[in-house]
Amino acid sequence: MSGCGCAEVVTPGLLDLFDARARMIAAARPIRGSERVSLAQATGRVLMDEVRATLDMPGVDNSAMDGYALRRAEFGAEGLPVTLRVPAGAGVLRLPEGGCARIFTGAPVPLGADAVVPQEWVRLDPEGRMHVEGELAAGANIRRRGEETREGELLLPAGTRLDAAAIALLAGHGLGEVGVVRRLRVALLSTGDELIEPGSARVPGQVYDSNRVMLLALLVQAGGEVLDLGVIADAPHDLHQAFSQARDIADLVMCTGGVSVGEEDHVRPVIERLGGIAFHGVAMKPGKPFALGYLGDSLHAGTPLIALPGNPVASLVGWQLLALPFVQVRQGREAAPLQRFPVAAGFSRRGPRGRRELLRVVLDWSAGAPVARLAGGQGSHMLSAASQAHGYLMIDANHNVEEGHAYGYCPAVQFLD
Protein backbone atom coordinates (compact mmCIF):
# COMPACT_ATOMS: atom_id res chain seq x y z
CA MET A 1 0.00 0.00 0.00
CA SER A 2 1.23 3.50 -0.79
CA GLY A 3 0.31 6.48 1.38
CA CYS A 4 0.83 10.23 1.36
CA GLY A 5 3.90 10.02 3.58
CA CYS A 6 2.29 11.93 6.45
CA ALA A 7 1.24 10.67 9.86
CA GLU A 8 -2.43 9.89 10.42
CA VAL A 9 -3.80 11.49 13.57
CA VAL A 10 -7.19 10.22 14.71
CA THR A 11 -9.09 12.98 16.52
CA PRO A 12 -11.96 11.89 18.78
CA GLY A 13 -15.33 13.61 18.71
CA LEU A 14 -15.37 14.57 15.03
CA LEU A 15 -18.75 14.92 13.31
CA ASP A 16 -19.54 12.43 10.54
CA LEU A 17 -19.35 14.04 7.09
CA PHE A 18 -22.93 13.25 6.12
CA ASP A 19 -24.20 14.31 9.53
CA ALA A 20 -22.32 17.61 9.13
CA ARG A 21 -23.80 18.09 5.67
CA ALA A 22 -27.33 17.45 6.99
CA ARG A 23 -26.74 19.93 9.81
CA MET A 24 -25.53 22.58 7.37
CA ILE A 25 -28.67 22.20 5.25
CA ALA A 26 -30.98 22.19 8.30
CA ALA A 27 -29.29 25.31 9.73
CA ALA A 28 -29.66 27.40 6.57
CA ARG A 29 -32.55 29.87 6.33
CA PRO A 30 -33.52 31.58 3.06
CA ILE A 31 -32.70 35.28 2.99
CA ARG A 32 -35.43 37.87 2.53
CA GLY A 33 -35.71 40.47 -0.18
CA SER A 34 -36.19 40.42 -3.93
CA GLU A 35 -35.72 42.54 -7.00
CA ARG A 36 -36.91 42.58 -10.58
CA VAL A 37 -34.34 42.11 -13.33
CA SER A 38 -34.48 41.86 -17.09
CA LEU A 39 -34.09 38.42 -18.65
CA ALA A 40 -30.68 39.54 -19.92
CA GLN A 41 -29.61 39.96 -16.27
CA ALA A 42 -31.36 36.86 -14.93
CA THR A 43 -28.77 34.16 -15.66
CA GLY A 44 -28.04 32.19 -12.49
CA ARG A 45 -30.58 34.11 -10.41
CA VAL A 46 -33.20 32.39 -8.23
CA LEU A 47 -36.93 32.90 -8.79
CA MET A 48 -38.61 34.57 -5.83
CA ASP A 49 -42.11 33.42 -6.74
CA GLU A 50 -43.60 30.83 -9.04
CA VAL A 51 -44.27 31.86 -12.64
CA ARG A 52 -47.41 30.75 -14.47
CA ALA A 53 -47.95 30.50 -18.19
CA THR A 54 -49.30 33.67 -19.76
CA LEU A 55 -50.62 31.90 -22.87
CA ASP A 56 -51.15 28.52 -24.48
CA MET A 57 -47.96 27.05 -25.90
CA PRO A 58 -48.11 26.60 -28.84
CA GLY A 59 -50.65 29.38 -29.31
CA VAL A 60 -52.20 27.70 -32.37
CA ASP A 61 -51.98 24.34 -34.11
CA ASN A 62 -48.80 24.63 -36.18
CA SER A 63 -46.66 22.56 -38.48
CA ALA A 64 -43.75 20.58 -37.07
CA MET A 65 -41.90 20.65 -40.41
CA ASP A 66 -41.81 21.92 -43.96
CA GLY A 67 -44.36 20.05 -46.06
CA TYR A 68 -47.99 20.05 -47.19
CA ALA A 69 -51.15 20.34 -45.07
CA LEU A 70 -54.21 18.40 -46.28
CA ARG A 71 -57.45 16.63 -45.43
CA ARG A 72 -56.67 12.94 -45.48
CA ALA A 73 -60.20 12.08 -46.62
CA GLU A 74 -59.70 14.10 -49.83
CA PHE A 75 -56.43 12.51 -50.83
CA GLY A 76 -56.46 9.90 -53.58
CA ALA A 77 -54.36 8.44 -56.37
CA GLU A 78 -54.95 11.51 -58.56
CA GLY A 79 -53.23 13.73 -55.98
CA LEU A 80 -54.20 17.21 -54.81
CA PRO A 81 -53.58 20.64 -56.27
CA VAL A 82 -51.56 23.09 -54.15
CA THR A 83 -54.07 25.89 -53.56
CA LEU A 84 -52.55 27.74 -50.59
CA ARG A 85 -49.15 28.81 -49.27
CA VAL A 86 -48.69 29.28 -45.50
CA PRO A 87 -45.36 30.71 -44.23
CA ALA A 88 -44.40 31.05 -40.56
CA GLY A 89 -46.00 34.19 -39.09
CA ALA A 90 -49.10 33.97 -41.27
CA GLY A 91 -52.57 34.18 -39.75
CA VAL A 92 -54.85 31.17 -39.37
CA LEU A 93 -56.33 30.45 -42.81
CA ARG A 94 -58.95 27.97 -44.03
CA LEU A 95 -57.94 25.15 -46.32
CA PRO A 96 -59.96 25.25 -49.59
CA GLU A 97 -61.89 22.09 -50.33
CA GLY A 98 -60.20 19.70 -52.74
CA GLY A 99 -56.75 21.23 -52.31
CA CYS A 100 -53.67 21.20 -50.07
CA ALA A 101 -51.43 23.90 -48.64
CA ARG A 102 -47.68 24.34 -48.96
CA ILE A 103 -46.69 24.94 -45.32
CA PHE A 104 -43.48 25.68 -43.43
CA THR A 105 -42.19 24.82 -39.96
CA GLY A 106 -44.01 26.79 -37.25
CA ALA A 107 -46.72 28.08 -39.59
CA PRO A 108 -50.37 27.82 -38.42
CA VAL A 109 -52.11 24.74 -39.76
CA PRO A 110 -55.07 25.83 -41.96
CA LEU A 111 -58.52 25.14 -40.57
CA GLY A 112 -59.84 21.88 -42.01
CA ALA A 113 -56.42 20.23 -42.44
CA ASP A 114 -55.83 17.14 -40.31
CA ALA A 115 -52.26 16.17 -41.24
CA VAL A 116 -49.00 17.56 -42.56
CA VAL A 117 -46.98 15.54 -45.07
CA PRO A 118 -43.17 16.00 -44.88
CA GLN A 119 -41.83 17.42 -48.10
CA GLU A 120 -39.49 14.41 -48.40
CA TRP A 121 -42.56 12.18 -48.93
CA VAL A 122 -44.03 14.36 -51.66
CA ARG A 123 -43.78 14.20 -55.46
CA LEU A 124 -45.23 16.95 -57.67
CA ASP A 125 -46.44 15.90 -61.13
CA PRO A 126 -46.14 18.11 -64.23
CA GLU A 127 -49.55 19.66 -63.47
CA GLY A 128 -48.34 20.68 -60.00
CA ARG A 129 -50.51 18.17 -58.18
CA MET A 130 -49.09 16.75 -54.96
CA HIS A 131 -48.66 12.97 -54.55
CA VAL A 132 -47.69 11.23 -51.29
CA GLU A 133 -45.45 8.20 -50.83
CA GLY A 134 -46.24 6.40 -47.57
CA GLU A 135 -49.02 6.20 -45.00
CA LEU A 136 -50.24 9.23 -43.10
CA ALA A 137 -51.87 9.16 -39.66
CA ALA A 138 -54.43 11.64 -38.39
CA GLY A 139 -52.70 14.62 -36.74
CA ALA A 140 -49.32 13.68 -38.19
CA ASN A 141 -46.66 16.40 -37.83
CA ILE A 142 -49.06 18.89 -36.21
CA ARG A 143 -48.13 20.56 -32.93
CA ARG A 144 -51.44 21.03 -31.12
CA ARG A 145 -52.36 24.25 -29.35
CA GLY A 146 -51.50 24.05 -25.66
CA GLU A 147 -49.78 20.65 -25.89
CA GLU A 148 -46.78 22.04 -23.96
CA THR A 149 -48.55 24.39 -21.53
CA ARG A 150 -51.96 25.93 -21.03
CA GLU A 151 -52.47 29.50 -19.89
CA GLY A 152 -52.39 29.63 -16.08
CA GLU A 153 -50.44 26.39 -15.61
CA LEU A 154 -47.28 26.38 -13.50
CA LEU A 155 -44.33 27.31 -15.67
CA LEU A 156 -41.47 27.46 -13.12
CA PRO A 157 -41.66 26.99 -9.34
CA ALA A 158 -40.22 29.42 -6.82
CA GLY A 159 -36.59 28.61 -6.07
CA THR A 160 -35.71 27.73 -9.67
CA ARG A 161 -32.20 28.80 -10.61
CA LEU A 162 -32.54 30.37 -14.03
CA ASP A 163 -30.42 28.81 -16.75
CA ALA A 164 -30.54 29.42 -20.50
CA ALA A 165 -33.48 27.05 -21.09
CA ALA A 166 -35.56 28.55 -18.26
CA ILE A 167 -34.87 32.08 -19.52
CA ALA A 168 -35.89 31.05 -23.04
CA LEU A 169 -39.10 29.57 -21.62
CA LEU A 170 -39.94 32.86 -19.90
CA ALA A 171 -39.15 34.82 -23.05
CA GLY A 172 -41.42 32.52 -25.06
CA HIS A 173 -44.29 33.57 -22.80
CA GLY A 174 -43.60 37.23 -23.46
CA LEU A 175 -41.97 38.05 -20.13
CA GLY A 176 -39.25 40.69 -20.32
CA GLU A 177 -38.36 40.74 -16.63
CA VAL A 178 -38.76 38.52 -13.61
CA GLY A 179 -38.71 38.72 -9.80
CA VAL A 180 -35.64 37.09 -8.25
CA VAL A 181 -34.17 36.64 -4.79
CA ARG A 182 -31.64 39.34 -4.05
CA ARG A 183 -28.06 38.15 -4.11
CA LEU A 184 -26.65 36.60 -0.94
CA ARG A 185 -24.10 39.05 0.51
CA VAL A 186 -21.03 37.16 1.71
CA ALA A 187 -18.19 38.83 3.61
CA LEU A 188 -15.01 36.94 2.70
CA LEU A 189 -11.68 37.12 4.48
CA SER A 190 -8.48 35.14 4.89
CA THR A 191 -6.48 34.95 8.10
CA GLY A 192 -2.75 34.43 8.48
CA ASP A 193 0.35 36.57 9.02
CA GLU A 194 2.15 34.68 6.25
CA LEU A 195 -0.38 35.51 3.52
CA ILE A 196 0.26 38.11 0.81
CA GLU A 197 -1.70 39.17 -2.26
CA PRO A 198 -0.94 37.47 -5.60
CA GLY A 199 1.08 39.80 -7.80
CA SER A 200 3.10 41.30 -4.96
CA ALA A 201 6.78 40.64 -4.23
CA ARG A 202 7.39 37.68 -1.92
CA VAL A 203 10.10 37.00 0.64
CA PRO A 204 10.93 33.56 2.10
CA GLY A 205 8.24 32.40 4.52
CA GLN A 206 5.41 34.28 2.82
CA VAL A 207 2.61 32.50 0.94
CA TYR A 208 0.37 33.86 -1.78
CA ASP A 209 -3.29 33.83 -0.73
CA SER A 210 -4.95 31.36 -3.12
CA ASN A 211 -7.93 30.52 -0.90
CA ARG A 212 -9.62 33.89 -1.08
CA VAL A 213 -9.56 34.18 -4.86
CA MET A 214 -10.72 30.56 -5.14
CA LEU A 215 -13.65 31.12 -2.80
CA LEU A 216 -14.50 34.44 -4.41
CA ALA A 217 -14.80 32.63 -7.76
CA LEU A 218 -16.91 29.86 -6.22
CA LEU A 219 -19.23 32.31 -4.47
CA VAL A 220 -19.76 34.33 -7.64
CA GLN A 221 -20.36 31.09 -9.54
CA ALA A 222 -23.00 30.19 -6.95
CA GLY A 223 -24.73 33.56 -7.43
CA GLY A 224 -23.43 35.42 -4.39
CA GLU A 225 -22.38 39.04 -3.96
CA VAL A 226 -18.92 39.00 -2.40
CA LEU A 227 -17.67 41.66 0.01
CA ASP A 228 -13.91 41.08 -0.04
CA LEU A 229 -12.34 42.07 3.29
CA GLY A 230 -8.86 40.92 2.31
CA VAL A 231 -6.21 39.28 4.47
CA ILE A 232 -6.56 39.78 8.24
CA ALA A 233 -3.61 39.38 10.58
CA ASP A 234 -3.89 36.36 12.87
CA ALA A 235 -4.22 38.51 15.98
CA PRO A 236 -7.25 38.68 18.30
CA HIS A 237 -7.74 42.45 18.00
CA ASP A 238 -7.59 42.47 14.20
CA LEU A 239 -9.87 39.46 13.92
CA HIS A 240 -12.37 40.95 16.38
CA GLN A 241 -12.53 44.16 14.34
CA ALA A 242 -12.87 42.32 10.99
CA PHE A 243 -15.58 39.93 12.21
CA SER A 244 -17.52 42.78 13.81
CA GLN A 245 -17.51 44.65 10.50
CA ALA A 246 -18.46 41.53 8.55
CA ARG A 247 -21.35 40.77 10.91
CA ASP A 248 -22.93 44.16 10.21
CA ILE A 249 -22.68 44.19 6.40
CA ALA A 250 -23.30 40.62 5.27
CA ASP A 251 -25.82 37.75 5.26
CA LEU A 252 -23.00 35.25 5.70
CA VAL A 253 -19.36 35.47 6.78
CA MET A 254 -16.79 33.09 5.31
CA CYS A 255 -13.18 32.86 6.41
CA THR A 256 -10.23 30.53 5.87
CA GLY A 257 -7.33 29.69 8.12
CA GLY A 258 -6.72 29.92 11.86
CA VAL A 259 -9.70 27.76 12.78
CA SER A 260 -7.73 24.79 14.12
CA VAL A 261 -6.59 24.39 17.72
CA GLY A 262 -2.96 25.55 17.62
CA GLU A 263 -1.51 28.29 19.80
CA GLU A 264 -1.55 30.72 16.88
CA ASP A 265 -5.07 29.84 15.75
CA HIS A 266 -7.14 32.72 17.12
CA VAL A 267 -10.24 32.54 14.91
CA ARG A 268 -12.33 30.22 17.07
CA PRO A 269 -11.85 32.14 20.37
CA VAL A 270 -12.80 35.41 18.66
CA ILE A 271 -15.91 33.85 17.11
CA GLU A 272 -16.94 32.51 20.52
CA ARG A 273 -16.58 35.98 22.06
CA LEU A 274 -18.70 37.57 19.33
CA GLY A 275 -21.20 34.72 19.02
CA GLY A 276 -20.74 30.97 19.15
CA ILE A 277 -19.83 27.72 17.40
CA ALA A 278 -22.56 25.34 16.21
CA PHE A 279 -20.04 22.60 15.45
CA HIS A 280 -16.31 22.30 14.80
CA GLY A 281 -14.44 19.36 13.32
CA VAL A 282 -15.61 16.93 10.62
CA ALA A 283 -14.36 13.38 10.13
CA MET A 284 -13.11 13.92 6.58
CA LYS A 285 -9.70 14.18 4.96
CA PRO A 286 -8.96 16.82 3.85
CA GLY A 287 -11.16 19.38 5.62
CA LYS A 288 -11.21 18.27 9.28
CA PRO A 289 -11.09 21.80 10.87
CA PHE A 290 -14.33 22.93 9.17
CA ALA A 291 -16.64 24.89 11.50
CA LEU A 292 -20.09 26.46 11.43
CA GLY A 293 -20.61 29.36 13.80
CA TYR A 294 -22.42 32.66 14.16
CA LEU A 295 -21.82 36.28 15.08
CA GLY A 296 -24.57 37.63 17.34
CA ASP A 297 -27.13 36.09 19.64
CA SER A 298 -27.73 32.82 17.78
CA LEU A 299 -27.27 31.05 14.47
CA HIS A 300 -30.65 32.26 13.17
CA ALA A 301 -30.88 35.63 14.90
CA GLY A 302 -27.27 36.57 14.13
CA THR A 303 -25.02 36.30 11.09
CA PRO A 304 -23.95 32.73 10.18
CA LEU A 305 -20.23 32.14 9.78
CA ILE A 306 -18.48 29.36 7.89
CA ALA A 307 -14.84 28.81 8.86
CA LEU A 308 -12.86 26.81 6.31
CA PRO A 309 -9.41 25.28 6.78
CA GLY A 310 -6.31 27.15 5.66
CA ASN A 311 -4.93 24.40 3.43
CA PRO A 312 -6.35 25.17 -0.03
CA VAL A 313 -7.57 21.68 -0.98
CA ALA A 314 -9.17 21.28 2.45
CA SER A 315 -10.88 24.63 1.92
CA LEU A 316 -12.09 23.55 -1.54
CA VAL A 317 -13.47 20.24 -0.25
CA GLY A 318 -15.16 22.00 2.67
CA TRP A 319 -16.84 24.37 0.25
CA GLN A 320 -17.99 21.67 -2.15
CA LEU A 321 -19.40 19.20 0.36
CA LEU A 322 -20.57 21.44 3.22
CA ALA A 323 -20.62 25.18 2.48
CA LEU A 324 -22.23 25.07 -0.98
CA PRO A 325 -25.50 23.39 0.11
CA PHE A 326 -25.78 25.94 2.93
CA VAL A 327 -25.39 28.78 0.42
CA GLN A 328 -27.94 27.21 -1.93
CA VAL A 329 -30.61 27.01 0.78
CA ARG A 330 -29.89 30.57 1.94
CA GLN A 331 -30.59 31.68 -1.64
CA GLY A 332 -34.03 30.08 -1.56
CA ARG A 333 -33.03 26.96 -3.48
CA GLU A 334 -32.98 23.30 -2.62
CA ALA A 335 -29.55 21.92 -1.79
CA ALA A 336 -28.24 19.95 -4.75
CA PRO A 337 -27.97 16.25 -3.81
CA LEU A 338 -24.51 14.77 -3.43
CA GLN A 339 -24.03 12.42 -6.36
CA ARG A 340 -22.22 9.19 -5.63
CA PHE A 341 -21.77 6.04 -7.71
CA PRO A 342 -19.32 3.10 -7.75
CA VAL A 343 -16.09 3.28 -9.77
CA ALA A 344 -13.20 0.79 -9.81
CA ALA A 345 -9.93 1.99 -8.29
CA GLY A 346 -6.85 1.86 -10.51
CA PHE A 347 -4.46 1.80 -7.55
CA SER A 348 -3.95 0.42 -4.06
CA ARG A 349 -3.51 2.63 -1.02
CA ARG A 350 -3.56 2.45 2.75
CA GLY A 351 -6.96 3.65 3.91
CA PRO A 352 -7.76 6.57 6.19
CA ARG A 353 -7.90 6.08 9.96
CA GLY A 354 -10.90 7.48 11.81
CA ARG A 355 -12.37 9.60 8.99
CA ARG A 356 -13.49 9.44 5.38
CA GLU A 357 -10.95 10.44 2.77
CA LEU A 358 -11.70 12.18 -0.52
CA LEU A 359 -8.99 11.26 -3.00
CA ARG A 360 -8.63 13.53 -6.02
CA VAL A 361 -8.87 11.26 -9.07
CA VAL A 362 -9.20 11.30 -12.84
CA LEU A 363 -11.34 8.76 -14.70
CA ASP A 364 -9.52 6.60 -17.24
CA TRP A 365 -11.93 5.34 -19.94
CA SER A 366 -9.33 3.59 -22.10
CA ALA A 367 -10.61 0.12 -21.18
CA GLY A 368 -14.27 1.02 -21.86
CA ALA A 369 -15.40 1.23 -18.23
CA PRO A 370 -14.15 4.09 -16.04
CA VAL A 371 -11.21 3.43 -13.72
CA ALA A 372 -10.27 6.02 -11.08
CA ARG A 373 -6.58 6.94 -10.97
CA LEU A 374 -4.92 9.38 -8.60
CA ALA A 375 -4.71 12.86 -10.12
CA GLY A 376 -1.41 13.55 -8.34
CA GLY A 377 -0.19 14.26 -4.83
CA GLN A 378 -2.95 14.03 -2.24
CA GLY A 379 -1.67 16.52 0.32
CA SER A 380 -4.24 19.06 1.49
CA HIS A 381 -1.91 21.83 0.26
CA MET A 382 -1.57 20.42 -3.29
CA LEU A 383 -3.88 22.33 -5.64
CA SER A 384 -2.19 20.85 -8.72
CA ALA A 385 -4.00 17.52 -8.27
CA ALA A 386 -7.30 19.24 -7.42
CA SER A 387 -7.09 21.36 -10.57
CA GLN A 388 -6.75 18.23 -12.72
CA ALA A 389 -9.21 15.96 -10.91
CA HIS A 390 -12.51 14.85 -12.44
CA GLY A 391 -13.89 14.16 -8.99
CA TYR A 392 -13.34 12.37 -5.68
CA LEU A 393 -13.03 8.73 -4.73
CA MET A 394 -14.68 8.64 -1.30
CA ILE A 395 -13.04 6.08 0.97
CA ASP A 396 -14.77 5.11 4.23
CA ALA A 397 -12.82 5.32 7.47
CA ASN A 398 -10.54 2.38 8.27
CA HIS A 399 -10.88 0.84 4.78
CA ASN A 400 -7.91 0.29 2.49
CA VAL A 401 -8.12 0.91 -1.25
CA GLU A 402 -7.66 -2.28 -3.27
CA GLU A 403 -6.92 -2.01 -6.97
CA GLY A 404 -9.89 -3.22 -9.04
CA HIS A 405 -12.44 -2.87 -6.22
CA ALA A 406 -15.32 -0.39 -6.51
CA TYR A 407 -15.61 2.68 -4.26
CA GLY A 408 -17.96 5.66 -4.10
CA TYR A 409 -17.14 8.33 -6.68
CA CYS A 410 -18.37 11.93 -6.53
CA PRO A 411 -18.01 13.85 -9.81
CA ALA A 412 -16.53 17.33 -9.39
CA VAL A 413 -18.74 18.69 -12.20
CA GLN A 414 -21.72 18.72 -9.81
CA PHE A 415 -19.96 21.48 -7.88
CA LEU A 416 -19.75 23.80 -10.91
CA ASP A 417 -22.97 25.26 -9.70
Can you name the CATH fold of 35-56+150-181?
A: Molybdopterin biosynthesis moea protein, domain 2 (3.90.105)
At 163-211, the pLDDT tens digits run: 999 999 999 999 999 999 999 999 999 998 888 889 999 999 889 999 9
* Average pLDDT for 300-318: 95
At 259-302, the pLDDT tens digits run: 766 555 788 999 999 999 999 999 999 999 999 999 999 999 99
- Cβ pair 31, 330 in contact under 8 A: yes
Percent of the chain topping pLDDT 70: 95
Q: Where are the beta strands (DSSP E) in 77-233?
A: 80-86, 100-103, 115-118, 122-124, 129-132, 142-143, 154-156, 177-181, 185-191, 195-196, 207-208, 225-232
| CA–CA separation, 301 and 295 (whole Å) | 9
Q: Is 253 helix (H, G, I), strand (E, B) or coil?
A: strand
Which residues lie closer than 8 Å to 66 by C-beta, 6 or more apart? Answer: 103, 104, 105, 118, 119
Domains of the chain, by residue range, sit at: 17-33+183-330, 35-56+150-181, 62-143, 341-415
pTM: 0.86
At 358-414, the pLDDT tens digits run: 999 999 999 999 999 999 999 888 889 999 999 999 999 999 999 999 999 999 866
Q: Sheet containing 291-295: which strands, arranged edge to edge?
A: 225-232, 185-191, 252-256, 303-308, 291-295, 275-280
The predicted pLDDT at position 413 comes to 65
Phi-psi region of 99 (alpha: psi -120 to 50; beta: other; left: phi over 0): beta
| CA–CA separation, 367 and 43 (whole Å) | 39
| CA–CA separation, 70 and 82 (whole Å) | 10
Q: Which one of 2.10.10.90, 3.20.20.100, 3.40.50.720, 3.40.980.10 gives the CATH number of domain 17-33+183-330? A: 3.40.980.10
For 341-415, CATH gives 2.40.340.10
Rg value, the chain, Cα: 30
Please report which confidence band the pLDDT of residue 8 belongs to, taking 50, 70 and 90 as the band edges: low
CA dihedral 65, 66, 67, 73 (to 10 degrees): 30
- Residue 412 CB: number of other CB atoms within 10 A? 15
| CA–CA separation, 179 and 167 (whole Å) | 12
Query: What top-level class would CATH report for the domain 62-143?
Result: mainly beta
pLDDT for residue 5 is more than 50: no
pLDDT for residue 133 is more than 90: no
| CA–CA separation, 63 and 106 (whole Å) | 5
| CA–CA separation, 127 and 236 (whole Å) | 94
